[in-house]
Amino acid sequence: MNCQELHQILGADGIHTLPANQRAAARQHLDTCHACREDLVSWQEMVALPLPATPIGLHGRIAAALAARHAAPLRSFRPWVVGGLLLAGAAAAAAIFLQHAPPDAALTATTSPSVAAAPPPAEQIGERPTAAPPAPTAEHATAATSTGPTVDLAHTILVLKRPNAAAGPEEIALANRCHNAVVRQLHNVRELKIIADHPEAPQRAFSFAEVPPNANNPWASPTDRQIARRLQAGKVLFISTDNGCNAYLSDSQTGELVGGGMAGEANPGADDWYSFASLLAKEIAEKILHDPKTLLADQRARLLNTGLGDDERVDALWHLPSEVTKRPFRRSDHAATASGFFDREVLAAVIALGTRSRSAEVRSSTWAIVRDYRIDDPALADALVHSLAKDANDDVRMQAAFTLGYYVDKPGVRDALLKAAAEDSSATPKEVCCIYSVREAAERAAIPDNDFDNWVHKTLLNSELPVRSRLLPLVDGAMDGRFATLGNLPTGREDAAVVFNIGRREQNPKLRQMAWNALSRAAPDDKFIPVLLNDLQSHPDEYVRAAAARILTKHTANPDVQQALEQARHDLSFQVRGVVEGKVSNR
C-alpha cells in the first residue's frame, strides 16, 4: 500500500474499523512511513474535535428567513433578525416543490405547478444510516431527559464515568479522554439516546472495595441503576480505568452485564481511544438494536447473490454480527464459528470468490476473512493450497499462506507451505518492516503453535539472516494472531540481550526503532540504559528517540534517566513528548 492508497481509505473512522486485509496493509505502511503516521495523527485529532449541538430553533429561524424573503426581499443574508416581518399565510406560491414525497426524495424541481415528485433514484448517495447527532453538553443532556418526545427506554444509555479511586491526574485525564471518545461515537448511532455528564450522575471514583462480595455485576451498582431508571435509561455504560480504558454495558433493570470491552493504554501518536470507541459503539449498537438472526440471513443472501459485484458479496463476510459468529482470537483457539452459517452453499460461494474472482483484492479479502472464522472444511483447505501455488497475485498468495497456517495439520498443507517457503517467486518486500513476503508467510505458517516460541528464538539468533528477518517475529500485529514478546519467551532474557546488541549496532533508524520496540516488551535491564540514554538525547530520528524513551520510562528510579526524561518533555518531536508526558514525576 502506498501513501495515496492509504489516504484513499482513511475515512472518519479509525483504521481499526477497516477490513482485516486493509487494516493490516495500512498498519504495515504506517510502520514504515513517517509522513503518513503524522498525517494520521493530525487527521484523527481533527475528526475527534467536539462539535456543539445543533442549535434548537435553527430550523425555525431558517423557516422564518425563507418566509421573510418571500414576503419582503432583503439584501442582507440575515433575514432571521427581522422575523417580526413574517406574514401569516405566506405560502401563496403556485409551485409545490415536492408533493407527497418524503423529505429525502430526489429532486426534480421545475416551475411547473403540478409536478409530481420523482421517485428516488435506485442508488442514492448521501443519506447515511448513522448520521451523527452532536455531542451533548450537560445542559443538552438535562433538556433531553426532562422534555421531548416519548423516550425509548431500551435504546437509552446512561454513561457513567468512574476512574479508579486511586487514580492520579494522568489517569483521570485518561478516563476523560476515553469517556469523551466513547460518548461521541455512541452519538453517531442515531437510534440510540445517550445521557452523559448528567448532574444526577456525576463522575465518581470507583474501587472494587465498595462492591459487595455477592454482587453479580460490579459495573452496575443498585444506586447507579436506580439513577438510570429515573432518567429513563434502559442501559448503563460504566467507563472505568485500569491499565487502560474499560467500558461495561449493563441492563438498568436487571443489572445483567450485556457486554463491553477494554483497551490498553493509548499510545501517544495513536488515535487516543478513537478506534476503541468506534468499535465499542458498533458492538453496543449491534447488541441493542439488531436481531442477530435477521442480520445473518441478510448477509447470507448478499453473499449468495451472484447478481452483485464480488466486492459487495465478500463485504457481507465482514459484517456478520459478532454476537453470532464468535470469532476465535488465537490460532490455537478452536472455538466454534458461526454456527450453521458456513454451510455447503456458503462455502462454495466463499471458495469461488477466493479462487475465481477477477479482483485480486476480493480474492485476498476472502482468504483474510476466512482466517477469522476458522472453518474446518477440506474443500476450503484444498482451495487455499491451490491459491498458494497458482494465484498470480503476491498478496493473495500471502493471505492464503497465513490462512493455511490454521490447517497445517491437514494432509498436504505443511508440505505445500514448505514448498512455497522455499520456491515462491515473490521477492522480499523492500519496506523495512512488517510486510511479509509469500515465502516469509509460508515459513511462519508452517510452524506449529507449540514450536512457535522456539522458532522465534532460533530466527533471532540466526546471524546469517538479515536483521529485518531476525526481528520480524517479535513485531506484533502479524496476521496469524501469534506473536512472541521478549517478556514472555522462555528464552526472553537471552533474546533481549541479542536484540539489544542488534539495535545498538544498527545504523538504519527503522531497524534500530524495530529493535527498541521489541526491547520495550522485555524485562528491564540496567545494562541497556547508557545506549538508550544516548539515543534519547541525541539520535536524529524522532522515532528512535521515542522508542528509546518508551523503554527508559521503566527506569525512572535512575536519576540520570529521570533527568533525561524530564528534558525530553521539551523534545522538538511530538512523538517523543507524547511518550514522556505523564511518565515523569512533577518536581
Partner 1 sequence: MPGIDHQRFSNLIEPHLDALFRAAYRLTRNRADAEDLVQDACIRACQQLAGLRETGPVKSWLLRVMHNLYVDGARRAKRSPIDAWQAQPAEVTSPAATPEESLDQRQSVDQLERAWSRLDRDHQSLLALRAEGYSLAEISAITNIATDALNMRLYRARQSLTRHLQQERTPTPTPMEATK
Site for partner 1 in 348-377 (CB under 8 A): none
With contacts defined by CB under 8 A, name the span among 70-78, 239-247, 356-364, 404-412 that binds partner 1.
70-78
569 touches 580 (CB < 8 A)? yes
Distances (CA, A) of 555 to 243, 357, 477, 516, 525: 19, 54, 27, 15, 9
Distances (CA, A) of 561 to 181, 496, 525, 555, 579: 33, 20, 13, 7, 14
Q: What is the Cα–Cα distance from 397 to 420, expressed in whole angstroms? A: 9
Choice between 76 and 147, CB closer to partner 1: 76
Q: What is the Cα–Cα distance from 163 to 167, expressed in whole angstroms? A: 6
Question: Please, what is the minimum distance in Å from the beta carbon of residue 268 to partner 1?
Answer: 12
Q: Which residues inside 399-458 make contact with partner 1, applying CB under 8 A?
A: none
Choice between 55 and 148, CB closer to partner 1: 55
Choice between 12 and 304, CB closer to partner 1: 12
Strand order across the beta sheet in which 235-241 lies: 193-195, 156-162, 235-241, 245-251, 257-263
334: DSSP letter: -
466 touches 439 (CB < 8 A)? no
With contacts defined by CB under 8 A, name the span among 23-31, 71-79, 358-366, 404-412 that binds partner 1.
71-79
Question: Please, what is the minimum distance in Å from the beta carbon of residue 570 to partner 1?
Answer: 7
Choice between 110 and 463, CB closer to partner 1: 110
Question: Please, what is the minimum distance in Å from the beta carbon of residue 278 to partner 1?
Answer: 11
Instruction: State the amino acid at position 311 in one-letter form.
Output: D
Choice between 137 and 556, CB closer to partner 1: 137
Name which of 446, 338, 428, 346 is nearest 388 in CA terms.
446
Q: Which residues inside 96-155 make contact with partner 1, applying CB under 8 A?
A: 96-98, 103-111, 118, 120-121, 124-128, 130-134, 137-138
- For 262-277, give the DSSP string: EEPPPPTTS-TTHHHH
* E strand or H helix at 365: helix 360-373
Question: Please, what is the minimum distance in Å from the beta carbon of residue 224 to partner 1?
Answer: 16
Q: Pairing mode, if any, of strands 245-251 and 257-263?
A: antiparallel
Question: Please, what is the minimum distance in Å from the beta carbon of residue 541 to partner 1?
Answer: 15
Is 93 near partner 1 (CB under 8 A)? yes
Choice between 216 and 567, CB closer to partner 1: 567
Q: Which residues inside 39-68 make contact with partner 1, applying CB under 8 A?
A: 39, 41-43, 45-47, 49-52, 54-55, 58-59, 61-63, 65-67
CB atoms within 10 A of CB 217: 18
Q: What is the Cα–Cα distance from 408 to 415, expressed in whole angstroms? A: 9
Choice between 159 and 445, CB closer to partner 1: 159
Q: What is the Cα–Cα distance from 569 to 373, expressed in whole angstroms? A: 45
Binding map of partner 1 across residues 490-519, x = CB under 8 A, - = no contact: ------------------------------
Question: Please, what is the minimum distance in Å from the beta carbon of residue 115 to partner 1?
Answer: 11
522: DSSP letter: S
Choice between 117 and 497, CB closer to partner 1: 117
Choice between 50 and 411, CB closer to partner 1: 50
Choice between 4 and 214, CB closer to partner 1: 4
Question: Please, what is the minimum distance in Å from the beta carbon of residue 128 to partner 1?
Answer: 6
117 touches 198 (CB < 8 A)? no
- The angle, 0 to 180 degrees and rounded to 10, between the axes of the packed helices 20-32 and 360-373 is 100
Choice between 161 and 457, CB closer to partner 1: 161
Q: Which residues inside 519-548 make contact with partner 1, applying CB under 8 A?
A: 538
Name which of 240, 156, 168 is nearest 198 in CA terms.
156
Choice between 486 and 536, CB closer to partner 1: 536
- The angle, 0 to 180 degrees and rounded to 10, between the axes of the packed helices 20-32 and 34-47 is 120
Grid cell of 31 as nine digits: 510502520
With contacts defined by CB under 8 A, name the span among 8-16, 222-230, 541-549, 558-566 that binds partner 1.
8-16
| Cβ within 8 Å of residue 405, ≥6 positions away | 331, 417, 444, 445, 446, 480
Is 340 near partner 1 (CB under 8 A)? no
With contacts defined by CB under 8 A, name the span among 5-13, 20-28, 303-311, 464-472 that binds partner 1.
5-13
Question: Please, what is the minimum distance in Å from the beta carbon of residue 20 to partner 1?
Answer: 20
Q: Which residues inside 203-262 make contact with partner 1, applying CB under 8 A?
A: 203
Binding map of partner 1 across residues 149-188, x = CB under 8 A, - = no contact: ------------x-------x--xx--x--xx-------x
Choice between 92 and 557, CB closer to partner 1: 92
- Binding partner 1 by CB under 8 A: which of 78, 344, 430, 587? 78
Q: What are φ and ψ of residue 529, in 5° steps?
A: -60, -50
Question: Please, what is the minimum distance in Å from the beta carbon of residue 81 to partner 1?
Answer: 11
Beta bridge partners of 237: 159, 249
| Virtual torsion, Cα 449, 454, 459, 462, nearest 10 deg | -160
Q: Which residues inside 547-586 make contact with partner 1, applying CB under 8 A?
A: 570, 572, 574
Q: What is the Cα–Cα distance from 176 to 197, expressed in whole angstroms? A: 11
Grid cell of 221 as nine digits: 451498582
Binding map of partner 1 across residues 255-294, x = CB under 8 A, - = no contact: ----------------------------------------
Distances (CA, A) of 399 to 20, 134, 371, 428: 11, 40, 9, 15
Instruction: State the amino acid at position 244 in one-letter form.
Output: G
Question: Please, what is the minimum distance in Å from the beta carbon of residue 147 to partner 1?
Answer: 18
Give the interface size with partner 1 as a residue count (CB under 8 A): 85
Choice between 133 and 405, CB closer to partner 1: 133
